[in-house]
Structure 1
């Protein structure tokens, strides 16, 4: 049988999702807990391999097993072996045609940015920070140049393993909320560090280092060297992964996260 699980994790102390020999990744820790509960090793497939320091409110994994357990038992049992920074939110028996990565048709990332002359230790590793005001109207104008299906090589990390740099970016929403600026990125899929590289360019435009049309020029070059430096991971969250309705996969309960209040989901 195939089981899908929804995960949340605070990623600041992990070296991203993907398993590594040193063991300090979300996948390493999660699969160890999963194996303790199941009493047999189980390998998982994930919807999106988040980068080092990136968080998740709506990560989805699946695995195959012969163990017959109630859905609620997978939640409580695996959580009993997980550290406070990772928690299973839901479990669901899914058909063998479900695939956490390949049947997903949309990923949604959220970035929360704190704008203030002085950093806040209360937001450390939970929100990005810039020390001076941003021109969000210019940032929205710049973002419009990225909407649609494009070759996003200019925003692709050099060690990205994706088979193609062509992705369809559905929307970038930018909302001001007091001292915060909220960003929501919706796409069919994302390249490695794509959101953080776009964030670097948007912040540069917001500080008037470049005009809004510069982002279109960067996109057209397909050259990572032409873009701004990669932005910090601290405020980046994998918010939701969407699947066809036939699978009836729950969406993340993002309203439990206070920073999401600035954007209608």
Structure 2
């Protein structure tokens, strides 16, 4: 008998993990999740995520594909898995998807949110989840205007070669940044929302860090523009992982395993940082 396809919407706080992908030196999200699945009676070959996240990066919505034994179901798994997960990793929804669904290859796009403290003191509950510019050596001497930051990120919107802003291990090809906005959360805390069709390794962190550096005057605007227009290498800044959240993975409506209501109010998602905010639209 064939195994049953299933997909999970999981969340995690990345501070205790060495990224998503299993590796020799753990713990990783994949390692911990697959161990919990085995304890819950899932004898599969492993999980396939919508994409990897790096060490320290958080996820409000990470989607993984897996296979269940005949006679099992996603609904039954959802009832027995959460008790086997640590406090830093949880489950929102488990579902049997469309037969053609694949967590990674079916994805139509992703949204990331990055939290940065531009002024004032970081609230205690946000300390593990933000970049504080006053503590970043290349940013600390400068004042960064939110409007200027929004202007620079707006220049990055469109289809282009983002190779100046990602690791060479990712293929060099056109990618589309559909939107980039800056939202004030209060108390000097801001949220940068980046929506695109695909992102290369470290792309969000280099875009955010280099935009901050340019807004601070530490990188000339002409270098920023050249990097965007031609892929010219720049002495950019990779923003700290702690501020980054994989916010949402989007799928074509005919393949999306999750309802609009679930996307608007994810069941089982913890309240408080780093997952606050209205759903991406």
* Matched ranges for 1:161-240 at <5 A: 162-178=170-186, 179-224=188-233, 226-240=234-248
- Deviation at residue 140 of structure 1 after TM alignment: 1.8
How many residues were matched structurally? 262
Deviates more, 1:146-155 or 1:125-134: 125-134
Deviates more, 1:56-65 or 1:202-211: 202-211
* Matched ranges for 1:30-41 at <5 A: 30-41=33-44
- Deviation at residue 212 of structure 1 after TM alignment: 4.2
CA RMSD for the aligned pairs? Answer: 2.3
- TM score, norm. by length of structure 2: 0.84
Aligned partners of 1:172 and 1:93: how far apart in 2? 33
* Matched ranges for 1:3-82 at <5 A: 3-82=6-85
> Which one of the candidate residues 81, 99, 112 is aligned to 2:102?
99
Aligned partners of 2:28 and 2:79: how far apart in 1? 21
Aligned partners of 2:28 and 2:265: how far apart in 1? 24
Q: Which residue of 2 aligns with 1:108?
A: 111
The question of whether the paired residues in 1 share the 8 Å contact of 2:213 and 2:237 is answered with: no
The question of whether the paired residues in 1 share the 8 Å contact of 2:176 and 2:196 is answered with: yes
- Deviation at residue 112 of structure 1 after TM alignment: 1.3
Q: Which residue of 1 aligns with 2:137?
A: none
- Deviation at residue 176 of structure 1 after TM alignment: 2.1
SS of the aligned residue for 1:219 comes to: helix
Q: Which residue of 2 aligns with 1:89?
A: 92
Aligned partners of 2:76 and 2:33: how far apart in 1? 16
Q: Deviations over 1:124-183 (max 9, x none)?
A: 22122112642122222211221111111101124x3x3344211101011223221111
Aligned partners of 1:65 and 1:264: how far apart in 2? 31
Q: Deviations over 1:81-132 (max 9, x none)?
A: 1111000110110123101011110100011112335455432221221126
Aligned partners of 2:30 and 2:56: how far apart in 1? 14
The question of whether the paired residues in 1 share the 8 Å contact of 2:73 and 2:96 is answered with: no
SS of the aligned residue for 1:56 comes to: strand
Change (3 A) 1:176 1:118: closer
Deviates more, 1:175-184 or 1:204-213: 204-213
SS of the aligned residue for 1:203 comes to: helix
The question of whether the paired residues in 2 share the 8 Å contact of 1:7 and 1:87 is answered with: yes
Confirm or deny that 1:261 pairs with 2:277. Answer: yes
Change (3 A) 1:114 1:107: same
Change (3 A) 1:39 1:182: closer
Confirm or deny that 1:123 pairs with 2:126. Answer: yes
Deviates more, 1:50-59 or 1:143-152: 143-152
Aligned partners of 2:278 and 2:80: how far apart in 1? 34
